[in-house]
Amino acid sequence: MFKYTSKVLPKHTKEFLVEIDWEIINVKQEESFAELMALVTAPGFRKGKAPKDVASQFINPEKVYERVVRKILPEMYKELIDKENLKPVVTPSVELTEAKANMPWKLTVQVAEIPEVKLKDYKPQISALHKKAIDDKSKATDVTDSSSNDKPTKDPKAKTLAPLSQVFTTLLANAEVDIPDLLIAEEVNRRLSQLVEDVRKVGMTVDQYLSSKQMTLDVLKANITKDSDEMYKLEFILAKIAEIEKLAVEQAELEAIMANARTAKEKEIAKSNLAWYETLLRKQKVIDFLNYL
């Protein structure tokens, strides 16, 4: 069906230069054109009834190309994943670079993989944060009991914790992880789209919003990019700690979530979101672990 060459890009990204056989392209192109023809309403003809030579005047070739790529991409991508043992972390970037009749089509596919996390010895620093929180509280309340300098007990009500933001900052400073640009770009686009929607709902334009914040679009994008990068770094760091410390979510915990669903609809929703619940529970286990260092 296709052949490809590959190269490694920075930040856990691989690029594949793919050639799709014309025989495959020709079949998918005919299918795509027929599908678009069925949507055409040409003068003098009912919808979908215009002959091919007439309908072609109303069909943008790029729309045909898009459909062809969408048709061949799933099988091609699955084969790439299997052959190259890829571990994608986000949908691939696909660019059609050459589309000539009777010739193989050429695509450039970039795949971002799960990044490697290198943890330094963060535990002493987080323990020091908690001890400082206890000492600061002791000084503020004039508590002289020497037990206030001991390691916190496992009673959450009796424990004085360092702010979680400080714990997270310490983790970020004690880990090496490069987030793929594709993953950051997707998150930035998602947040910008959401911002545009939110701004429109309150009757403002994006320019008015930026003016009210005394900010340019470039600065906004840079801020969102930085925030997205730190967010994903932290997500992967927490996942790495869970892996190292074997902080797994038990099946009974997931079953308890299902048990709380009262109606068939709620059970269906809970079941479809079990992976998300598992991620949240595991993250909470990591946070609990960090709180008792």
Which helix (H) or strand (E) segment holds residue 278: the answer is helix 274-291
Domain 2-112 has CATH 1.10.260.40: no
pLDDT band at 148 (very low <50, low <70, confident <90, very high): very low
Instruction: Please report the pLDDT score of residue 257 as a whole number.
Output: 85
Listed in sequence order, the residues at least 6 apart from 113 whose beta carbon sits closer than 8 Å to its beta carbon are 12, 13, 14, 86, 87, 88, 89, 180
pLDDT band at 42 (very low <50, low <70, confident <90, very high): confident
All structural domains of the chain with their residue ranges? 2-112, 118-175
Instruction: Please report the pLDDT score of residue 135 as a whole number.
Output: 85
- How far apart, in whole angstroms, are the C-alpha atoms of residue 33 and residue 31? 6
Total-model pTM: 0.81
For residue 217, pLDDT over 90 is answered with yes
Helix, strand, coil percentages (3-state) for the chain, rounded to 5, are: 60, 10, 30
- How far apart, in whole angstroms, are the C-alpha atoms of residue 291 and residue 167? 9
Collapsing DSSP to helix, strand or coil, 106 comes out as: strand
Neighbours of 187 (CB within 10 A): 19
One-letter amino acid for residue 228 of the chain:
S
